[in-house]
Every structure is written in C-alpha cells, then in structure tokens.
Structure 1
Amino acid sequence: MLVIIGIAIVLVAVLGVIHTMGSITEPPEVLGGLIGAALVGTFLGVLAAYGFVAPLARAIDAAYSGDTEYFGCMKAAILAHMQGYAPRISIELARKTLSPAVKPNFDELEVAVSGLPSGGG
C-alpha cells in the first residue's frame, strides 16, 4: 500500500512538470505560475516520500520482520518435510533460516527435540 502511495506522490509531481512543459508557449506571467506550482508540487512530493512514506514503511517493516522470520522458518520446515527429509534434518534446515539473535544452538535443539515422540506409530 505504501508503495502505491509513494508512486502516486511522485506521479503527481511529474505530471505537474509535464503540464508546465505542455504550456511552454504561454506568456511569462502564466508560465511563471505553472513553473512555481510544478516546483512546489515536486518539493511536496519529495518531502512526503522521504519524510513520511519511507519512515512509515521502515517502521512497518521493523514491526513485522519477526513475523516474517517466524513464518519463513515454518515454511522451510514444512517444505523440507514434504520433500521427504527426516524430521531432524527438516528441523535443522528450518533452524538455519533464523537470525543469530534467535537461533537456538545445536545442543539446545537436541534437548528440545529429544522429548518429542518419534511418530513411527
């Protein structure tokens, strides 16, 4: 959604310049007003893009990056299991997708997995 807002802001600024260039044959009084409006539109577009949309996008990305990493780890485990890897290998492949801040070491993972049922049924 933020990308669409950013593109719209830039598009409006560019359209102001295009409108001004389309009226290049107008007298200087009219052309001066159009150039001023195009410059103000461009300035406001850049200000909105860099001062509002970009920081908001970074804040949203930071807020949801943990969820993205969590779902990516689950995806890696499920895909590895569906491809026929052993459960412990699937878990290890999923563990490798985690960032070092939250990644359990091998020993912690072995302790957590050793208590699980084998599922051999």
Structure 2
Amino acid sequence: MSRKNAGRARRRAEIILQVRSGQMTVSQAARALGVSHKTYYQWEKRGLQALMESLENREPGRPSIPKPDPEKIRLEKKVSDLEKRLEMMAEVFDLREMLSDLRESDQTKKNTRGKKKR
C-alpha cells in the first residue's frame, strides 16, 4: 500500500473508531470523509470485518505451502497438450492450403501449355 493510501486508510480507521466510541456521529464522519452515509457504512463494515479476521487464532509458525492440486496439474497438462495439438493442426491446415494452391497453379500451367497458338 502506498503512503498516500495508508494515510487515507489510517484516517478512515480513526474516524470509524471515533464513531464507534460515540465521539462522533455518522453524519459528522461522512462529512469529514467527504462521502455519503452509505459509503461510510460500507467502509465501517469492511474495516470491522478485517479487524475481526486479523484477530482470529492462527497456527504458530509460517503458513504451510499448499500441496499442488493433482486435478489442476492434470488439467494444465491437458491444456498444454491441446494447445500443442491445435498449433500442429493449424500448421497442417496451412500446408494443405499451400499444397492445394500449388496443384491449382500446376493445373493452370498445364492447361496453358496444352493450348496451341495459331
């Protein structure tokens, strides 16, 4: 979070705490923050939820690294294989078009040579 955003968040938190402690009304808080009552209440709800989540008990130590999901690995491999197959099929399609163009070109040349000039 940038310093500017951190400062704004701190100001919002201070005002929310003032409202919760009865030192300020919601109307005063909304006016001080330059927002509507609805926005103030949304910020208050988000802030209080974040506070509650941060105070929940956690396991000591570093969080464990989640084990790779075998289904995700299988699907990623399948996507990779299908992308390779699609690329190969696109190349086959391009080659077939080129071959068709060459055949048409050869046929045109044969037809042109076969005509006698008068």
TM over 0.5: no
Q: TM-score, normalised by structure 1?
A: 0.29
The higher radius of gyration belongs to 2
